Structure 1
Amino acid sequence: MAAVSSVMSLSPATGLTNKTALKRFAVPSYVPSLKRNVDFRVSSMSKVSTNFGDILAFGGPGPERINGRLAMIGFVTAIGVELANGQDVFAQIQNGGIQWFIVTSALLSAASLIPLFKGVRAESKSNGVFSSDAELWNGRFAMLGLIALAVTEYVKGGALV
């Protein structure tokens, strides 16, 4: 409205009518467009990259999913061994836990990467309660739980249970 009144105030000085002044001084780029982008499409069958660098990139589908799966297995195993033997996490690591960690990490990483290299994403296979988002959140909570378990046992000086 302010732009129109300033154009109208200029028109008597230039000798132009209001209609020609608006055509002459109005710039189309100043008017916001309300037109929506009609070409925007989301397709679930989009081509996904199977490049090793893309899969294991910081924002790629591999790292968080693999780390989450390892953390879920690690947290359940740590609690299970602690309940069975009374050993804290640090004692479990000292008593052969490193070898089990390496073997488990290799197997779970390979099992997680094979579908990614074939172009299959977890989002395409998720449904209902067992969704890919639920898996990511469970993995995140397991990572936090494993760290909290280790810190608590370190501060306490022994097993949690």
Structure 2
Amino acid sequence: MAFTSAALQTIFASPALASRTRTTSYSFPRIASVPRLSRNAVRCMASGDEKTEQSSEPTVVPPTTSQIPTTPTPPKPQAPKASTKFGDVLAFSGPAPERINGRLAMVGFVAALAVELSRGQGVFTQISEGGSTWFVATSVLFTLASLIPLFKGVTVESKSKGLMTSDAEMWNGRFAMLGLVALAFTEYVKGAPFV
């Protein structure tokens, strides 16, 4: 700080600067050597005396990381536990009905297309020739497999990660329901298998 101040005094007091800028030049006493001052000392440059005064402001020492108080992080709010009551799980807006119907529609749509491609039978022919037994057995199996975790309080959202999310399953089920209805309607109107 003192060195910078002395250098600025030397620059402003030079006659070359005064003649170029055409301003009134103030003459400052030239200092041959600048005494080394401590960090907390302030030198009075206006009067030219060399006494040092202590700064009236307290010295601020930055705290170390061990001295900084840490605020505790609040605990994460826990999601409310899903209801395991029979009426809540199977309610119209509950977690089970649309999900189970979507899963059954996905299996039914793929199975209907696979049988149609392999045997050349339409959906209505498949149902009338023993397909209803397979439909009931698959429906019972998938319904129980879907309901058991829900009655234990496990939500589908808690198990969905990455690409296979609960929303993706829901949308795939909706598209499969539409596809199965469209397949049956097309075969009914056409009077023949779709493929």
TM-score normalised by L of structure 1: 0.73
1:53 corresponds, among 80, 84, 87, to 87
CA distance in 2, matches of 1:44, 1:63: 26
Q: Percent identity?
A: 67
Letter in 2 for 1:70: L
Asked which structure has the greater RCO (Cα within 8 Å, sep 6+), the reply is 1
1:85 corresponds, among 119, 122, 146, to 119
- The equivalent of 2:102 in structure 1 is 68
TM-score normalised by L of structure 2: 0.60
Q: How does 1:78-117 map to 2 (within 5 A)?
A: 78-117=112-151
Larger Rg: 2
1:142 corresponds, among 173, 176, 184, to 176
Letter in 1 for 2:85: N
Letter in 2 for 1:51: K
CA distance in 1, matches of 2:170, 2:177: 11
- The equivalent of 1:8 in structure 2 is none
Specify every segment of 5 or more residues in structure 2 that has no aligned partner in the other structure, as ranges: 1-75
Specify every segment of 5 or more residues in structure 1 that has no aligned partner in the other structure, as ranges: 1-41
Once the two structures are superposed, residues 86-125 of structure 1 have per-residue CA deviations (whole angstroms, 9 ceiling, x without a partner) of: 0000000000011111000000000000000000011000
For these two proteins, the number of residue pairs brought into alignment is 120
User: Secondary structure in 1 aligned to 2:134?
Assistant: helix
Once the two structures are superposed, residues 32-79 of structure 1 have per-residue CA deviations (whole angstroms, 9 ceiling, x without a partner) of: xxxxxxxxxx94531210001100000000000000000000000000
User: Secondary structure in 1 aligned to 2:115?
Assistant: helix
Summarize the Cα distance change of 1:120–1:143 in structure 2 as closer, same or farther, 3 Å threshold.
same
- The equivalent of 2:187 in structure 1 is 153
Letter in 2 for 1:67: N
- The structure that is helix-richer by fraction is 1
